[in-house]
Amino acid sequence: MCGIAGLILKPGATPDAALLQRLIGALAHRGPDGAGHHVAGQVALAHNRLAIIDLATGDQPLFAGPAALVGNGEVYNYRELREENQLGCATGSDCEPPLHLYRRDGLGFADRLRGMYALAIHDRAARQVVLTRDPFGIKPLYLAETSEGIAFASEAQALIGAGLVAPRIRAESRAELLQMQFTTGAETIFEGITRLLPGETVAISEGRVLERRRRAALPEGGPVATTEEAALAAFDAAFQSSVDLHQRSDVPYGLFLSGGTDSAAVLAMMARLNDSPVRAYTAGFDVAGAADERERAATLAQAVGARHESITVSEAEVWRHLPEIVAAMDDPAADYAIIPTWFLARRARQEVKVVLSGEGGDELLGGYGRYRAAMRPWWLGGKALRSRGAFDRLEVLRAPPTGWRDGIAA
């Protein structure tokens, strides 16, 4: 988890050094292993590094000819990109192949990337900055238009903290957050701050957007006719490839193990792919009646010979650290899982820098009933996603929220 930020200003404006330092400072917690910046003309790029790949020569910005790059996340297929395209890279960084591909392919470079990333490239020759985000939107990137041009950052709070945007709540997004527990689309809960959409690539010059492209996360078309045996074999191959790529790291890595099917499957695959025991971490609460999967997680870990660490989170600890936990949710979502995840991360960071998890499994495989219902026709019990909001019929709000389904409907 690195942090990136930048300024793309209108003609006549120049990046303010103090402003750039405020952006770097606001993102310092995302990258404790170093900071760098690039300033040329009306453009400034900033980077806070969490070193995962190429610890020795992977500092950013990266440069190739007239282009400079800063990135957050990881491009998992960087080795394949380097080999298949015969790229002459000066570093072992996973972010250098995208820089060379951009110089060759232009905005289409992102179509070849596999990973979770947010990248910014300043092309001095073309006098433009290109921003791109992974198709699933795993890594965030936020933009703000100011009187002098466009600013971007890995966190909305950095744009506010640097003084680029006033901290004002957008009423429509507040209603969406209350009813759905999260917000969708390009608009955020903060007035004047938007998201680069998942899979979106934009070209910006002199403080204005010149071009937008969008890459879909999933292929078009319906289900492919196949047999159960063939489908399971294809899934196993894809799953193994995904876990293997996610383990590409020059630092120790581990797993958040909940005891559920998704993280258990990841654990089993990691155990298959690694010679040394997998480091696994599980959290539970000391409150009577709270869901507790620690015993099941321990059984799973023992079955594959994992190094398992189980932590207990007390009620007192939750209340003591809740302000920090909520503050870490830069783009708010009402998900209680942020509490055990925060404590797990605090414990895991003592031994590892990277963790895998079962996040996304329910969405991809229809693990929740609402996803299965959305796929069925209405005469078989199907219904629209999020047709009712969390506060419907409770009559506790001053006024009924309106327009809260606009984002998900779009």
Q: Provide the pLDDT for residue 220.
A: 86
Task: Report the percentage of the chain scoring pLDDT > 90.
Answer: 79
Confidence tier at 374 by pLDDT (50, 70, 90):
confident
What pTM was computed for the model? Answer: 0.94
Q: Which amino acid is at 214?
A: R
Task: Give residue 231's Cα distance to chain centre.
Answer: 28
| N-to-C CA span, the chain | 30
Q: Which of 19, 15, 68 is nearest to 43 (CA)?
A: 15
Residue 409 has pLDDT above 70, yes or no: no
How far is 331 from 348, CA to CA, in rounded Å?
23
Please tell us whether the domain made up of 228-363 is placed in CATH 3.40.50.300.
no
How far is 321 from 315, CA to CA, in rounded Å?
10
Q: Which residues contact 293 (CB under 8 A, 6 or more apart)?
A: 258, 259, 260, 282, 284
Choosing from 1, 2, 280, 296, the catalytic residue is 2
Tokens of 377: 């026709």
Q: Range(s) for CATH 3.60.20.10 in the chain? A: 3-214
pLDDT in tens, 302-350: 999 999 999 999 999 999 999 999 998 888 888 888 999 999 999 999 9
Give the pLDDT mean for 360-371.
Answer: 83
How far is 239 from 246, CA to CA, in rounded Å?
11
CATH topology (fold) of 3-214: Glutamine Phosphoribosylpyrophosphate, subunit 1, domain 1 (3.60.20)
Backbone angles phi, psi at 39, to 5 degrees: -130, 125
Q: Provide the pLDDT for residue 371.
A: 81
pLDDT in tens, 33-83: 999 999 999 999 999 999 999 999 999 999 999 999 999 999 999 999 999
Q: Provide the pLDDT for residue 370.
A: 81
Q: Range(s) for CATH 3.40.50.620 in the chain? A: 228-363
Tokens of 363: 């969405």
In the residue annotation, 89 being an active-site residue is answered as no
Query: Where is pLDDT greater, at 105 or 287?
Result: 105
